[in-house]
Structure 1
Amino acid sequence: MKILIYDAKSYDIESFSKEVKKYKDIELDYIESDLDIRTASLVEGHEAVCGFVSSDFSAEVIAKLAKKGVKLILLRCAGFNNVDIEAAKANGISVFRVPGYSPEAVAEHAMALALAVNRRIHKAYIKVRENDFSLDGLKGRNLHGKVAGIIGTGKIGAAMARICAGFGMRVIAYDKFPNKDLKFIEYMSLHDVLAQADLISIHCPLTDENYHMINKKTITTMKDGVILVNTSRGELVDTDDLIQGIRAHKFHGVGLDVYEEERNNVFENRSHEILETSITSRLVSFPNVIVTSHQAFFTEEALSAISETTLQNAKAFIAGKPLEFNQVK
């Protein structure tokens, strides 16, 4: 099988090139451009494509891939909200993902955002570089003894819950399917979690049902001075409502590794360009907000796990023995 990897960065090429040596029946090609309706034609001669969170797997693109002979879509990520699954089925294309490449990597980044925004590490770093050693504007709050509210307790949410418990926090959570292995968590309704938590960390997939689950109404439910962290999907949070909440001094801090309309920015250097929207500039203008570039997954261990599972998915597909847990149906 020949696989074309779209949006291939240097670290992707390094990781996949090392891993593919174990597979005699798989050949990889790399392209720097991401997948869209224009670049779909470049798949000529490949039976599979590999994309990431910003790749365009819309119905139009999938139809074009199918005409080129593509039978397999490999996502080197857990989320699949950017894939038209029904279109894939209609065109006879199987879709596989990497559901649990490194939950600890994402959870650790979520806590890093919470800690940094709480203690204003980003501001302190800049102040000291300018020889300003004053403490004005840097006051934080102890997390020990506070309440952590985890939205979604899959592998990543569970890892975050354990970290919070290790900090001496009381952990409450909302999930339609409670994790029975997490004995220290108290499950309750979303409303109650939002109302009681001092730190809210979002760890759930994006669906039609939870689109903009953090909005003007739910923000009103939260405590004044709450810390909000999102390392899942940007569309879970209504950005305009979030900005209103920030301006109303609702939040002590906000840490975002994802945000709405990030697609054109993900992993790209756009420092010399004029951005299409003002979302990023508005968010980073606030002293109590930290935005990172969808990097929560970005550790050596996670990259290794992503390449390994992606190629395992391809091998299983070739053998006609798909890995059920990894297949998107």
Structure 2
Amino acid sequence: MSARRTIVVTGADLASQALELLKDFEVVYAGKTPQEADLIALCKQHDPVGMIVRYGKVPGSVMDAAPSLRVISKHGSGTDTIDKEAAKARGIEVRAAVGANAAAVAEQALALLLACAKSVVQLDKRMHAGHWDKATHKSVELHGRTIGLVGLGAIGQRFARMCDAMGMKVIGFDPFAKDLPSYIRVVDLDTIWRESDAISLHCPLTPENREMVNEKTLAACKRGVIIVNTARGGLIDEAALLQALRSGQVFAAGLDSFAVEPMAAPHPFHGEANIVLSPHIGGVTGDAYVNMGVGAAQNVLAVLEKVAATAR
């Protein structure tokens, strides 16, 4: 074991700017696809004081293997892969790099929304095959349409500003959001389903909202609604969404996250013309990589400093 205190990163790398902040620590990497057994072994070997979570899950068994662990810091904003109840019971603080990837994810949501409305993928394939569909194709114009946002945190608000700039009417649901801009009309979930021409998810995954987009809520939507998800795959009942797409109740879906990741082949979504897919890379840009790494490192240092100050 190193003489220096250890930080375990559940990934294969960390931005150099983040490593500079952690220069007084030994940083150990768990690899690109760390499994529970891998993390337990690393924790038993190094007994880290902190953990930066990029990939994989961190259950109580991993925490038990690291008796010195004081902070689990998410390399991003979503902490659903960390057992927060287990952490609380063990006196381990869980932090997220809130807002560090907001610009990147909001841009991805906009890209998926536009790809769906303008049939970008289908028209690209047709053009490459030698077709010219100008006489037969009509895209969806978003100006004047209503976009419903579920979640109005840093990402949701940034995306709302983009939609407002395009002339869309913005409605949103978030029981925790405060001091929202005037162009967001706050509504309940029933209104989101009923009034939206497009719906974009920007909320964390909780036991209460799992599969909130389901057969019942999709049936309550306008026919031809567009669904965008750059949050967590578990928010959507994927079988219900596929059925709604095939029936025409949903016009198109732009999805960056899925119930099971990585998506295994074959998957029911594969080959569906009206689904635009991306491999959960909304927050994966060069800038966001640095911002999330720095934010995660700063959170580790802040908690460890607080622990040290309490001990003095």
- Taking structure 2 as the reference length, what is the TM-score of the superposition? 0.89
Question: 261, 279, 288: which one pairs with 1:293?
Answer: 279
Match of 1:327 in 2: none
Specify whether residues 138 and 306 from structure 1 end up closer, same or farther in structure 2 by C-alpha distance, changes over 3 A only: farther
3-state DSSP class of the match of 2:182? coil
Q: Does 1:303 align with 2:289?
A: yes
| 8 Å CA contact 1:173, 1:187 repeated in 2 | yes
Specify whether residues 57 and 288 from structure 1 end up closer, same or farther in structure 2 by C-alpha distance, changes over 3 A only: same
Specify whether residues 137 and 56 from structure 1 end up closer, same or farther in structure 2 by C-alpha distance, changes over 3 A only: farther
Match of 2:234 in 1: 235
Deviations 1:299-318 (A, max 9, x none): 22211111111111122123
Which residue type is aligned with residue 287 of structure 1? A
Match of 1:212 in 2: 211
| 8 Å CA contact 2:255, 2:278 repeated in 1 | yes
Specify whether residues 136 and 37 from structure 1 end up closer, same or farther in structure 2 by C-alpha distance, changes over 3 A only: farther
**1 CA distance for matches of 2:63 and 2:156?**
32
Which residue type is aligned with residue 298 of structure 2? Q
Q: Answer with 104-113 or 57-66: which moved more.
A: 57-66
Give the C-alpha shift of residue 91 in structure 1. 3.0
**1 CA distance for matches of 2:137 and 2:97?**
39
Specify whether residues 136 and 77 from structure 1 end up closer, same or farther in structure 2 by C-alpha distance, changes over 3 A only: farther
Give the C-alpha shift of residue 178 in structure 1. 4.3
Specify whether residues 290 and 194 from structure 1 end up closer, same or farther in structure 2 by C-alpha distance, changes over 3 A only: same
Give the C-alpha shift of residue 122 in structure 1. 1.2
Unpaired runs of at least 5, structure 2: none
Deviations 1:50-78 (A, max 9, x none): 222x4121222332344xx4333221121
Q: Does 1:282 align with 2:268?
A: yes
| 8 Å CA contact 2:30, 2:38 repeated in 1 | no
Deviations 1:263-290 (A, max 9, x none): x44xxxxxxxxx3x75xx3213211111
Q: Does 1:59 align with 2:63?
A: no
Q: Does 1:82 align with 2:81?
A: yes
Q: Does 1:36 align with 2:22?
A: no
Q: Any runs of at least 4 consecutive aligned residues in structure 1 with deviations exceeding 6 A, and if so which?
A: none
Deviations 1:213-242 (A, max 9, x none): 111110011001111101111111111111
Q: Which residues in structure 2 correspond to 1:17-28 (within 5 Å)?
A: 17-28=16-27
Q: Does 1:49 align with 2:35?
A: no
| 8 Å CA contact 1:50, 1:73 repeated in 2 | yes
Which residue type is aligned with residue 42 of structure 1? L
Specify whether residues 5 and 136 from structure 1 end up closer, same or farther in structure 2 by C-alpha distance, changes over 3 A only: farther
Match of 1:4 in 2: 8
Which residue type is aligned with residue 289 of structure 2? L
**2 CA distance for matches of 1:313 and 1:170?**
36
3-state DSSP class of the match of 2:254? strand
Which residue type is aligned with residue 10 of structure 2? Y
Give the C-alpha shift of residue 22 in structure 1. 4.2
Q: Number of residues paired by the alignment?
A: 301
**2 CA distance for matches of 1:321 and 1:64?**
20
Match of 2:187 in 1: 188
Unpaired runs of at least 5, structure 1: 266-274, 323-329
**Percent of aligned pairs sharing the same letter:** 30
Match of 1:326 in 2: none
| 8 Å CA contact 1:103, 1:156 repeated in 2 | yes
| 8 Å CA contact 2:76, 2:101 repeated in 1 | no
**2 CA distance for matches of 1:136 and 1:49?**
57
**2 CA distance for matches of 1:18 and 1:103?**
19
Give the C-alpha shift of residue 23 in structure 1. 4.4
**1 CA distance for matches of 2:52 and 2:22?**
16
Which residue type is aligned with residue 6 of structure 2? K
- Taking structure 1 as the reference length, what is the TM-score of the superposition? 0.85
| 8 Å CA contact 2:72, 2:95 repeated in 1 | yes
Specify whether residues 177 and 5 from structure 1 end up closer, same or farther in structure 2 by C-alpha distance, changes over 3 A only: closer
Give the C-alpha shift of residue 294 in structure 1. 0.6
Specify whether residues 174 and 18 from structure 1 end up closer, same or farther in structure 2 by C-alpha distance, changes over 3 A only: closer
| 8 Å CA contact 1:63, 1:87 repeated in 2 | no
Specify whether residues 183 and 83 from structure 1 end up closer, same or farther in structure 2 by C-alpha distance, changes over 3 A only: same
Q: CA RMSD in A?
A: 2.1
Give the C-alpha shift of residue 181 in structure 1. 3.0
Match of 1:117 in 2: 116
Deviations 1:26-63 (A, max 9, x none): 332323243333102023223322222x4121222332
